Structure 1
Amino acid sequence: MSRPLKIMLIAAEASGDALGAGLAQALRKRLGEAVIFVGIGGPRMAAEGVVSPFDIAELSILGWIEGLRAYGMVKRRVAETAALAAREQPDAVVLIDSWGFTIRVAEAIRAARPGLPLIKYVGPQVWASRPSRARTLARAVDHLLALYAFDAPWFERAGLPTTVVGSSALHVDMEGADGAAFRARRGIAADAKLLLVLPGSRPAEIARMTPVYEAAVRRLKNEDPTLEVAVAAAGTVAQDVAGRVAAWPFRVHLVDEAEKYDAMRAATAALATSGTVSTELALAGTPMVIAYRIGALSYQLMKRVVTAKHITLFNIAADERIAPEFIQDAASPEVLAQTVGRLLNDPQAAAEQARRQTAALDLMGRGGPDPSELAADAVLRVIAAKTQDGARG
């Protein structure tokens, strides 16, 4: 009897942890006990059998200057990950998102085992900045699993075979999300205005954005004391968010991962830190305002290389500013309160923005096959092709 296929999955933050767990489930569905997993990940991947030797939360780094400060730690974790690959001798490695960490791991593993299939799941956003990264990735890995059709040409031109698998965020099942039930559980009247705040999933995002959001919500509450406020906390930062929100001088409904989609359905409008959550809110039909801040020096460096007109994916797909976006100093409490207030107080404007958000999701590939299933198929094809090439060689 042949030994099980051993696949190493490497993820360094919450979104990658979710992708890795979905991929593991899809591979196990195909292979059953004929596949085992090793690697680096968070709690979702751990539930699928990936026992990580360290907590990935420390790798969730935001901004260039912050990255430089953490360079020593990242270098150590790269070495540990490469050593894990050397010990475990996997049949293939899938490196998920987190460009700065995973590209270094890929290069270290490639140097040690040139023939090992390396697959990148989610490429760097070269359409937004630093297109030379496409060539860097093409030298380091054998195949890319891209989320969106507009990603593929950038990498294929660099000689990297690419499979567009779609975004799992576009496949969130909102059918069971019940906004009315959420309001009933929290004692929120059916006709009350409810603002949902989503401060992010990284520690640095929580530290930077929650004070801004508190100040913005304070202004909105001063204008309308009846406004209900909910804050959704990603699992990786739930304790941090809960501690910060507990000090806010007004009542807040704290929402965990299990209730997040119910809260999205229930919300009149949302104020969110840029990320995957914007796609989920659009699927829920919730009009939103997007904000983002990083370190001042990191932002000055970023401005020199970023060419994208938008940061929200459905805005990028539609090539228009459907959801308002406010970056760095523009994301002031005054401006955020004013812009969110329009959505809360103008039902027609809110409904029109929600409609346009939903339409833009079709441009991103909504309605396609399950991304985890497509990713699993692609991984197995790459392994089979590499095996055949090795046999011929």
Structure 2
Amino acid sequence: MTRPLCIMLVAAEASGDDRGAELMAALKRRLGPDEVRFVGLGGVGMAAEGLTSPFDMSELSILGLLEGLMAYRRVVRRADEMAALARRERPDVAILIDSWGFTLRVAQRLKAQTPELPVVKYVAPQVWASRPGRAAVLAKTVDHLLSIHTFDAPFFEKVGLPTTFVGNSTLSLDLSAADPAGLRRRLAIGPDAPVLIVLPGSRRSEIERVMPPFEDAVALLKAARPDLQVIVPAAATVADAVRARVAGWPHRAHVVEGEADRYSAMKAATVALACSGTVTTELALAGVPMVVGYRLGPVTYAILKQMIRTEFVTLFNIAAQRFVAPELIQSDCNGPTLAREVAQRLDDPALRQAQVAAQNEALDKMGRGGPDPSEAAALAVLKILGRSAV
């Protein structure tokens, strides 16, 4: 009797947890739930699929160079723990999902301590935007790359890293179960009331840096529009911090948690104010016009500004090569400027309609409508292992 396939997955932030959970589900569908077991690190999504994490991944959701330096010892200690887990559990393959700084250190330790273990990186560093040297670094530390962008492969294949394009799982987001009308009823929001959803990020450092200007913007918008309803979907990794901040707001706002309410809130929204990240693609898929804001530490921003090779930070803006959604970064990410951009969209239905149409066009350029990325990733992993699947 053959033992079940053992797969190690490592994710360190909410978007990685989503991808990991989807990949786990796809592997179970193809192999059978009794023919595969999972070890490693993840969040609530991966836990629901059967992975038990040795610690809370949220402590690794680090943003910024200075923050990374301050957390260096913790990151190294946790990377050592992942390598020890691999030695103990002897997985057939390790799949490291996004989170460049942490997963690179895990990969380096796996290669040094368990060189026979195939190591797969799922989601490439964005070398087309900055720091192209990371491609060669990655090629030395992993055996295969699963990429989510069509334009990734040339950067990595030219340095000898086999790359398989699997697509962006966010583009396969299923919003059919969203219930915006039900959410409005439950929160006592009228069917025609304007709704602003505020998404301040999934990392604690994002809450600390991005939430204050978002709060200022919301206060200005509420002062001018008392009937404006505000919903704040909180990521599981930062739900306590978000609730604590919103509780101190002088005006009422609804904090919701969980995937179902988050997607229902998106479908109920008139406009969104969002931290840059995966959520902007989700909002575009939900048909929500948005304003994007982001802040880094001043030193981190000054360094990155010299490295960035693209004008845009939002993926659908990159695909469109224009500002489909406004991006207010660093000093531009302030209450009055954010409020002005949001107000324009709240007050102008034609502007909202035009932005949604442009977002849809950009989503098509990104590959919307392609094969299910989690299924493609599962097939790629099994091929790497030389295993067949139903």
Say whether 1:22 aligns with 2:22. Answer: yes
Q: Which moved more, 1:343-352 or 1:228-237?
A: 228-237
CA distance in 2 between partners of 1:176 and 1:42 (Å): 22
Aligned residue in 1 for 2:42: 41
Say whether 1:222 aligns with 2:217. Answer: no
The residue type paired with residue 372 of structure 1 is S
1:340-359 C-alpha deviation (Å, 9 max, x unpaired): 00000001001100111011
Q: Which moved more, 1:177-186 or 1:272-281?
A: 177-186
Q: Which moved more, 1:126-135 or 1:248-257?
A: 248-257
Superposed, which structure 2 residues align to 1:291-330 within 5 Å?
291-330=293-332
Pick one of 271, 279, 282 that aligns with 2:281. Answer: 279
Superposed, which structure 2 residues align to 1:85-100 within 5 Å?
85-100=86-101
TM-superposed deviation, 1:191: 2.3
Aligned-residue CA RMSD (Å):
1.2
Q: Which moved more, 1:250-259 or 1:69-78?
A: 250-259
Say whether 1:4 aligns with 2:15. Answer: no
Aligned residue in 2 for 1:82: 83
Aligned residue in 2 for 1:388: none
Aligned residue in 2 for 1:256: 257
CA distance in 2 between partners of 1:338 and 1:188 (Å): 24
1:126-145 C-alpha deviation (Å, 9 max, x unpaired): 01110010111111111111
The residue type paired with residue 7 of structure 1 is I
Aligned residue in 2 for 1:351: 353
Pick one of 281, 287, 290 that aligns with 2:292. Answer: 290
The residue type paired with residue 15 of structure 1 is S
Say whether 1:116 aligns with 2:125. Answer: no
TM-score normalised by length of structure 2: 0.96
The residue type paired with residue 20 of structure 1 is G
TM-superposed deviation, 1:223: 1.4
Structure 1: where are the runs of 5+ without partners? Answer: 386-393
TM-superposed deviation, 1:187: 2.1
CA distance in 1 between partners of 2:115 and 2:57 (Å): 26
Structure 2: where are the runs of 5+ without partners? Answer: none
CA distance in 1 between partners of 2:153 and 2:322 (Å): 21
Aligned residue in 2 for 1:236: 237
1:76-111 C-alpha deviation (Å, 9 max, x unpaired): 111111111111111111011110011111111111
Aligned residue in 2 for 1:206: 207
1:44-97 C-alpha deviation (Å, 9 max, x unpaired): 212222211111111100001100011111111111111111111111110111
CA distance in 2 between partners of 1:42 and 1:185 (Å): 28
Instruction: Name the SS of the counterpart of 1:77 in structure 2.
Output: helix
Query: Structure 1 vs Structure 2: percent identity of aligned residues?
Result: 57
Instruction: Name the SS of the counterpart of 1:22 in structure 2.
Output: helix
TM-superposed deviation, 1:261: 1.1
The residue type paired with residue 126 of structure 1 is V
Aligned residue in 1 for 2:69: 68
CA distance in 1 between partners of 2:79 and 2:228 (Å): 47
1:205-256 C-alpha deviation (Å, 9 max, x unpaired): 1111221111111111121211111111111111111111011000112122
1:155-204 C-alpha deviation (Å, 9 max, x unpaired): 12221111111111111112222323322222222222111111111111
Superposed, which structure 2 residues align to 1:124-163 within 5 Å?
124-163=125-164
Q: Which moved more, 1:174-183 or 1:277-286?
A: 174-183
TM-score normalised by length of structure 1: 0.96
